[in-house]
Chains A and B, each alone.
Chain A
Amino acid sequence: MDIKSMKYYLYWLYCQFELITCSYLMEPWEKLLFYTFNITMLVMVLYTAYIFVPVHVSTAFQFFLNLFGNQHENTVSIVK
């Protein structure tokens, strides 16, 4: 029963998307064009994220690590 209500909920979400972007009013070929464009854009964004986000995150992490690491050494030397 949960699958049925889940499917109904997903269908309802799809209806809301259709209403907000006005694809409810479009003819079938316009809908095809619109969805193709949207899905292409989405896939390209996700692919770019998949390739670049790990690299960016690890670079940023290393940068901050170096920054705080240097600070710790400086304070230790002054106290000595």
Chain B
Amino acid sequence: INHIVHNGGLYKRPFNEAFEETPMLVAVLTYVGYGVLTLFGYLRDFMRQWKIEKCQNATEREEQKDFVPLYQDFENFYNRNLYMRIRDSWNRPICSVPGAKVDMMERVSHDYNWTFTYTGRVIKGIINMGSYNYLGFAQNAGTCQEAAAKVLSQYGAGVCSTRQEMGNLDKHEELEKLVARFLGVESAMAYGMGFATNSMNIPALVGKGCLILSDELNHASLVLGARLSGATIRIFKHNNMQSLEKLLKDAIVHGQPRTRRPWKKILILVEGIYSMEGSIVRLPEVIALKKKYKSYLYLDEAHSIGALGPSGRGVVEYFGLNPEDVDVMMGTFTKSFGAAGGYIGGKKELIDYLRTYSHSAVYATSLSPPVVEQIITSMKCIMGEDGTAVGKARVQQLAENTRYFRRRLKEMGFIIYGNEDSPVVPLMLYMPAKIGAFGREMLKRNIGVVVVGFPATPIIESRARFCLSAAHTREMLDTALKEINEVGDLLQLKYSRHRLVPLLDRPFDETTYEETED
């Protein structure tokens, strides 16, 4: 559905995002399934308590039974009775490079997923639809691997120090200049871990007396960083610009809660691509709002860097905007560059401040040299500076794969969430038994998928998440689509009634989850 532009033509291309509503019958049956499993969960807990059945999970010791109980909340109940039944779809050990095809170690469980044993067989050539390998740089051969091997023999693998002490290599300086050039910002800084980049740098940027406006579905690292900072956090509805504007207006008009003083800083936390929904942030509108209300923007491009935009520079290039409008551009090297770590890019004063005051710079070990070389080589490849057209070809291949895969799945009749151009494709499963069944059936047909259930998604909206890659050829995608079609017929997953919910454009009166007519 094309977003009807009523805000002055901010979008230069159509913005097609859709989240089809859950069919009523499916929702009712999902609750029935969860109800049955909950009853059996209570039965099993009863049997475990009265020693009719052997208790295989963690419990308190005998001496501690009179204290506050540790394992009685819903999370632990869910863990013991529901997660254990389908646990074999997760933590599967792979034993080759996670490229387009991967090898997996076969394991069986004789006591219903409490323990696993390896049969010793290795399943080879499983089509990998779960790794965040968007541009196919997870390879064990090629220019990146040769360069990394050379640097490994020169620098070794360990750094043995933090950035501020003895861990600042010339490779890190080279990497940071390259990242700044790639993004189009003044300066950048790289950290050893993507999660730590968010959780350790947001506390350095905001503190008490500041306001954080964070999207409903932000990643745990952003939420953790926001909570650690001590600032006031307000949540706006996912990708909903009316909700964000309402919060901004309230913040400017009313100020801090009791003293009514103006906020020291207002920081908007959004992500480029939300990995559980497959949706892309409405960046032109966010930037317009940010300029109007004079707040700051922190953009987490973990999944969108390298994967969106005509030359892979991320969501800012995808919308054709100026990178200097985004105050803090954060991203990770884990997804599209095939390495590990994160970066923050922005104005020179900001990055110089972070070099001194970030917890990650002071306490965390810096990036390992071969990893840095992998990032440098892959980034140069994407930019086209190594002399070949491989990078551009990969970016285009990813875009083609995305459009083809999404179109075919929608035609088959599955409910797919998210934007037409995002390489993350969530396919809705809803019922708990289908989560386990989908994972197992796809593995039987030699396709590895990631299924996601309760704590990461709302309880009835469990899904299977496909991550497309530029390394997938058309034949691999066709094989995968054929198998998904078969499994979809077998498990009856084709719920779509082709009734797409129109995107809400009406203004909201409250920041809660009800809407009133104006």
Contacts and interface: CB of A to CB of B under 8 A. Distances in A.
Interface of A: 12, 15-16, 18-27, 30, 34
B33 A26 contact: no
14 contacts: A16-B492, A18-B433, A19-B431, A20-B29, A20-B33, A21-B36, A22-B36, A22-B431, A22-B433, A23-B36, A25-B37, A25-B86, A26-B40, A30-B40
Contacts of A23: 36, 433
Contacts of B437: 19, 24
B308 to A, nearest CB: 36
A30 B34 CA distance: 15
A21 B37 CA distance: 8
B192 interface: no
A21 B492 contact: no
Contacts of B433: 18-25
| Majority secondary structure of chain B interface residues (helix, strand, loop or mixed) | helix
A57 to B, nearest CB: 30
A20 B32 contact: yes
A8 B507 CA distance: 53
A24 to B, nearest CB: 4
Contact of A21 (B32, B490, B491): B32
Given A25-B85, A25-B436, 18 more contacts: A15-B490, A16-B492, A19-B434, A19-B437, A20-B32, A20-B433, A21-B32, A22-B36, A22-B431, A22-B432, A24-B433, A24-B436, A24-B437, A25-B433, A26-B40, A26-B85, A30-B40, A34-B40
The CB with the most chain B CB atoms within 10 A, among A21, A22, A23, is that of A22
B30 to A, nearest CB: 9
Interface size bracket, B side: 10 to 19
A18 B491 CA distance: 10
A30 B33 CA distance: 14
B293 interface: no
Contacts of A18: 433
Contacts of B112: 27
A25 B29 contact: no
Interface string B372-406: 00000000000000000000000000000000000
A34 B434 contact: no
B94 to A, nearest CB: 25
A63 to B, nearest CB: 36
A77 to B, nearest CB: 53
A39 to B, nearest CB: 15
Nearest to B44: A30
